[in-house]
Structure 1
């Protein structure tokens, strides 16, 4: 059995059925099996799973899920819409021309779970592992506004209420059901036969093809899984009434599934708060770890810019660090560049906010596609995932340990005074952040970065800002902090700690 649960934290599900115009205000409910498989394949490409799982594992997973039709357990929702007058970029009778667009969506309880269940499907262990990762990293289902959280359920004992059937009546209860047409993938083993019949039917095996025939042939890949990678615009241009490799199946859903009760009360979700996200960098050459503060600042700028675009100009304070409450104690985002493979180059950025990252913040981070600097450096960004610190164990900055050692220079944030040196300032910072005071702080002369010995002077230690910042320490120190009891990471202290300075990694006694 394979069972996937979905919930929509924004309380909205947007998806237009294939072949229907958006102004018909129809909603594809439940999400078709074809839509779910396309979302999983897209996540495999976009979220970096291709680096850890070979194509053969994805192929096998898709083939197993396409071989049987799922049943669903549908929660109730309110069918509603909003109206927008979209500018058309031209004038009409002296005024800007607009077109009325209906945005239909299903309003759901953010805690309500949609269940998709393949009762007769069994996967290989590696396929289960891949499915777990893909569902965890799935960001939306349907249109981009349909934020989703998904996870696999090991053993589901519930009862489905939406099945593939031609009979619009529950035989056991006599209750009338509502038929809905969903797109489902053809079993992978049938695809080759179907493709050959399409090629013969449209004369696509001729030596010379006309332009419409070439368009059709370009959307008939040899492998079934490649049909899930085709762009919707290419399918529409080729004139497909149904996407290649799919078939329409009638499902029966409960007749009262779309309630008209506008006073439907939704309870507040009681889920674990997201505090941490991880981004991957790609490009040649990657930035040096010695330039961590530059990359941390670029990541913050990119998060702010994308938040403005994604949220209509609104930037969550947790991302920007602006307009925070007076009692804020570093609860906003730390942008911490990582050298995960220890080759001396930054390959990831850990974004951590102890106060929690809102859905708007995660949406902004997910939209970041590149970082660039004026000197010509440019890197692609891949959003790997988010959750709590326990959900991202691969980060070298996360863990629980007594001993923490500098990865980048620590710059003391206050001026040195008598009995108020580096150790005393670290102890004060720990108190302010409600961490235990260290039992010992040792200075370290050098650290190893990419096989080379490095001193603090080798690192860039200044903010790239036009503002006049008080910087009591311009040299920096490497230190090792020892606590009486293990503390949780990430740990970043001192001047510039929100941008990659003063970062520590757990030591040999990591739990």
Structure 2
């Protein structure tokens, strides 16, 4: 005959420690609940029932025999997990004087109880989930079931007193409730020990506190093993976002090891790669994530994010996104993506998903330095130079790198290729009015964005950089991006009037 018990924890917590284990040594607690604990709880409630109704001891022996001869199986809530441990100091029965050397109440001493530190571990059980006990045994009778129901109705906690419980017997198995945890005599990989009652256990063994105290294995009990059900795979929650038409998507940067200025192009280049993967994943339902594997149609759709057309050629007219970094002095504080044409909702969603995980910026895998990105909403004002305010004087926020080398192999200046010459030439090519290079100072070496298809690939990407100040004859409106890797964070200017 099969008896099914349903046990719920209204407070969502099951507090219990395995037999003989210290709460500090086993922070996971007991899970699943042990059958030995269930038998002891029922026996304890029988003694309460006997005081109320005068039940005979023979009835208890029959009930215990029916319980211990059952094969126990469980249905455990799949979402149950380890809960937070609570540590607190509790009073002891030992009383002492405080201060210890002053034993005179007239002099300010007082008697206080000693304290000991206790750790309370628990398993977080969903309030709408329940444990189902499946007890299959041959010794159940109608009288035994009635006595079992009366004892279960009087159980108010299970394990520690904080584990408030509600346990009763159900006549029919609920739909969708199947056995997902069984007990075995041999320990398997991933199994946990569970204390069970032996078939010859008696009611006296369950209530003899003198015999139970200090016992590694209590009389009438035996260790068996259970494999907990696997937790369901985490699913990405469906997030409903409201997107506004915007040309600028901003993220705050944070890191335990702050990245240097020379890592700007590394951060923006790797973030761009993530954005493209997320965009491809959304457009083809995860069938592919690499730009090289995408069809010409998909490449054309993400051209505004990639900066290249379906054939891999750079887009003309600055119609693509720029992945930029804002600096406060030499500290990288913000990453933002700008495009003259507003971003579509699916493009903004790809950027937000790309920013969910930390981004590694270190050059070697052994370093493992990362930076985190926190999305900023429209209430955060745009960076200086992106607010539409005109200015005559502009100063570089991030180092300016000439698009072409300024020196020959012997280290001599190339005529017409000096940094100031390249700035004047680039301003004219991009349609900006003429400007005077007011000052130009060396800013050291930085890494630039170098596609793998280029000569040397990503390994040949260290270039000389400069801090530049420009003065226009008339005020101009930004943004102003100049030089090598200007769409990857370098050569960004701000108004300095």
Question: What TM-score do you get using the length of structure 2 for normalisation?
Answer: 0.40
Higher-Rg structure is 2
Question: What TM-score do you get using the length of structure 1 for normalisation?
Answer: 0.39
